[in-house]
Amino acid sequence: MTPRQALGKGLGALIPEKTIADLDGKKAYQYCGIEEIHPNPHQPRKNFPEEQLQELVDSIREKGILQPLLVRRKGASYELIAGERRWRAAQRAGLKEVPIIVKDIPESELLELSLIENIQRENLNPLEEAEAYRALMEQFQLTQEEISKRVGKDRTTITNTIRLLKLPPEIRQSLSDGAITMGHARAFLSLENPEKQKIAFKKVLAQGLNVRQTENLVKKLGAKKKPSSPAKDNREWDPLADELQRILGTRVRIVGREKRGKIEIEYYSLEELDRIIEHIKK
């Protein structure tokens, strides 16, 4: 199996299911000094919550490291491919040696593997995940459909996650810190104006609004002046909009009156626009 083939299947293709022994009874891993390992500079995960890290430290002190770290040789030492959280916790736990599996991964594919591994393990917060998807698209020219197959997630989920990068910096930081949830963030995205997004965000923090309350707030902020002639209640369009959204795999909004209106179809990259156009043509 080539590294490229392995990447397509994720980390499981690189780490054997049984790491204690291979078919010949030999160990499928080895030990090395913890100081011989260095972190991966392309690691997509930036935040390591203290509480979760401490839980892992306690577990390692009691049971040791149950799964070896995945590394590659880098000069006279090793560079992490996967397992930075375990490596950090092992340091805190006072371990001198850690189990490792050494793989020959080219520099050009190291970032791709790190991104996919973290996404599959759900180790990233929503913003880190969005950045990982964008990196896979921009640096490896992967389409959202290809990413969907590699990480095992619905393509619409990937699209919606990437949209988070359009939010103002203070909202993205709050989401990254866990002060608001993905549900809050998605509600803010329904407001096209960044200033209105900020207004809604400040009210959510000040009043401690839940997701449902945030959605109601956003509807009020996004409401337009009542048209001179009776307009069709948008709620009546919702089933059709939902069906179009399911078919096209992106956000669809229908705004109109009885005899006239418009359909708004969102896209988040030129590749996404091409895909939607081809789908409509078919």
Q: How many CB atoms lie within 10 A of CB 5?
A: 9
Contact by Cβ (8 Å): 125, 176: yes
Question: Which 8-state DSSP code applies to residue 227?
Answer: P
Q: How many residues does the chain have?
A: 282
Task: Pick the catalytic residue from 79, 84, 117, 131.
Answer: 84
- Answer yes or no: 84 catalytic: yes
Distance of CA 16 to CAs 105, 123, 161, Å?
Answer: 16, 20, 31
The Cα–Cα gap between 179 and 185 comes to: 11
CA distance 210 to 221: 16
Q: Rounded to whole angstroms, how far apart are CA atoms 128 and 118?
A: 10
For residue 67, list its beta bridge partners. none
Sheet hosting strand 37-38, strand order edge to edge: 30-33, 97-102, 69-74, 77-82, 37-38
In this structure, are strands 77-82 and 69-74 parallel, antiparallel, or unpaired?
A: antiparallel
Q: Which amino acid is at 8?
A: G
CA separation for the pair 31, 106 (Å, rounded): 22
Cα–Cα distance, 267 to 248 (Å, whole number): 10
Nearest to 237 by CA among 219, 255, 212: 255
Catalytic residues: 84
